[in-house]
Amino acid sequence: MKLLKLPVAALAAMLVALPVSQAGANELTIGLASEPSSIDPHFHNLGPNNAVARVMFDRLIMPDDKQRLLPGLAVSWKAIDDLTWEFKLRQGVKFHDGSPFTADDVVFTFQRAPDVEGSPSSFGTYLKGKTITRIDDYTVHIKTERPYPLMPNDMSTFSIVSRKHGEGAKTQDYNSGKATVGTGAYKFVEYVPGDRIVLERNENYWGDKPEWTRVTLKAIKSGPSRVAALLAGDVDLIEQTPTADIERLKNDANLTLSQGISNRVIYLHLDHDRDSSPFVKAKDGGDIKNPLKDQRVRMAISHAINRDAIVSRVMEGIAIKAGQLLPEGFFGRSPNLKPVEYDPALAKRHLSEAGVGDGFKLTIHGPNDRYINDAKIAEAVAQMLTRAGIQTDVVTMPRSVYFKRASRGGPDGTPEFSFILVGWGSGTGEASSPLKSLIHTYDKSRGFGASNRGRYSNAEVDKLIEDALATVDDAKRQDLLARATEIAINDGAIIPLHYQVNTWAARKGIKYRARTDEATVATDVISE
């Protein structure tokens, strides 16, 4: 058979035009719904950031797809007395530049991670209140003021960075790649905000070598555009498959879907702190004493929301309505809490009892590129509240702007908004994570309330959370966490809406393990 000869330029053009899966059999392109706000692994405790960071920077303990704890840069850990945990570190690990990993890098990470300049939501919730000591090159001790059984869980939540490259480094040094030197399975190649992140395989990785030699993460905010890119062969895998397209894609023989419930709750945070809240007004637009501080008003809002309608209509049935911080099967949830029933008559009665029976004006703020159908959820909530007598406007924005403003856009770095749509996935896989970060009284010095953007504060709940964190007995800790959750939810600390069910879609021949932490992790993508 005579071979067809083509000019080099023509052959190159053909290769560029080929789908990713043909142009580079060992290369992978992933379409991201929400790209990281930074490559700095400590800048923002946010799902997209953590998902990318985990393949470049290892953790002491590495959670698997079900958030079970596995050895990472620590090969073993144990409590050696009531207040001290000992971690034995993995020997022979090299950073991407060939320098050795030692206890010095762990100590440096402890110093850096909780206090990165400008962080919208820090890792202080996992690191404050702990003192680390270097024992030798491959041993560290971590002490707490009270017994702390959840130390291994906390150590599975953040990336270990190089002291050599991290000392004096700012977030922009990680975004440029200058300081982006980890021990992970992939090395940094390129970061173009709003477009792509390019990684290459670390051929000297200490663990299992990943399948893909090169990974490109493309930011594709629009759901229909992500689906179109997958169908065209421009990407191999997409996350947050639009709920409206799932049934159609399931029937496409050229695609495979993976789906699983996550531990992320989508919820509403309300201004519990200010007597005059900036986005709460009287019906005539004038100032009003903040009604969100009244528990009856918070319960009215909750009863005015039809969660079944949100799940069935907005989420196309691909969600589970929520009554607390975590879905069934996770440690620390309460067996006594159920989703609040839709009852507009009761909502109006609560408003009347609170002295705002004529209603008031409210603005809901939310992201439009972070959670599945986030802007549509905000619009649905606004319509429901308006029908109940609370005239509600909607303002949504890109998550890169939203989280900064929601956390510290107000005077003196306080939260800017009055009423927000947001989500939280438990990084530790149990209830102390959302309780510590969302519900406990804001206390930056102790690492509590790092994402408590409503500034909720309840001394009884605080004590239950802190007692739970110091309780070694699992059954007793479960009860304390459940009780703290019950009091907080019944008080309207936050208003849970639903738990996300996540769907990944891939070209035929590629499989993804759905994760409870929702992360899209390149090392979890395998060919079949």
Q: Are strands 84-89 and 74-81 parallel, antiparallel or unpaired?
A: antiparallel
Burial of 70 (0-12, 13-18, 19+ CB in 10 A): exposed
Per-residue pLDDT at 121 = 84
Please give the Cα distance from 106 to 421 (Å, whole number): 35
Over the stretch 363-406, which tens digit does the pLDDT of each residue have?
A: 999 999 999 999 999 999 999 999 999 999 999 999 889 999 99
Three-point CA angle 182, 187, 193, nearest 5°: 100
Of 236, 38, 234, nearest in space to 122 by CA: 38
Please give the Cα distance from 133 to 103 (Å, whole number): 9
Of 221, 216, 222, nearest in space to 235 by CA: 216
- Domain architecture of the chain: domains with CATH: 262-501 (3.10.105.10)
Please list the pLDDT of the chain residue by residue as tens digits (528 residues).
Answer: 333 333 333 333 333 333 444 445 699 999 999 899 999 999 999 889 999 999 999 999 999 998 899 999 999 999 999 999 999 999 999 999 999 999 999 999 999 999 999 998 889 989 999 999 999 999 999 999 999 999 999 999 999 999 999 999 999 999 999 999 999 999 999 999 999 999 999 999 999 999 999 999 999 999 999 999 999 999 999 999 999 999 999 999 999 999 999 999 999 999 999 999 999 999 999 999 999 999 999 999 999 999 999 999 999 999 999 999 999 989 999 999 999 999 999 999 999 999 999 999 999 999 999 999 999 999 999 999 999 999 999 999 998 899 999 999 999 999 999 999 999 999 888 999 999 999 999 999 998 999 999 999 999 999 999 999 999 999 999 999 999 999 999 999 999 999 999 999 999 999 999 998 889 999 999 998
Count of Cβ atoms closer than 10 Å to residue 361 Cβ: 18
Q: Where are the alpha helices (DSSP H) in 312-398?
A: 344-353, 374-387
Total H helices, total E strands in the chain: 18, 20
Per-residue pLDDT at 25 = 60
Of 272, 286, 456, 298, nearest in space to 360 by CA: 286
Of 142, 166, 145, nearest in space to 154 by CA: 142
The H or E element containing residue 250 is helix 246-250
Of 37, 58, 21, nearest in space to 191 by CA: 37
How far is the first Cα of the chain from the last one, in angstroms, to the nearest whole number? 32
Of 250, 217, 310, 306, nearest in space to 28 by CA: 217
Per-residue pLDDT at 429 = 87
> What DSSP assignment string belongs to 46-61?
-HHHHHHHHHHS--SE
CB 143, CB 107: distance < 8 Å = no
Burial of 5 (0-12, 13-18, 19+ CB in 10 A): exposed
Dihedrals φ, ψ of 333, to 5°?
Answer: -80, 160
Residue 340 is given by DSSP the state: P
The H or E element containing residue 260 is strand 255-270
C-beta contacts of 162-169 below 8 A and 24+ residues apart = 162/95, 162/97, 162/99, 162/101, 162/105, 163/104, 163/105, 163/107, 163/108, 164/95, 164/97, 164/99, 165/95, 165/97, 166/108, 166/109, 166/112, 167/108
Over the stretch 36-62, which tens digit does the pLDDT of each residue have?
A: 999 999 999 988 999 999 999 999 999
Per-residue pLDDT at 12 = 36
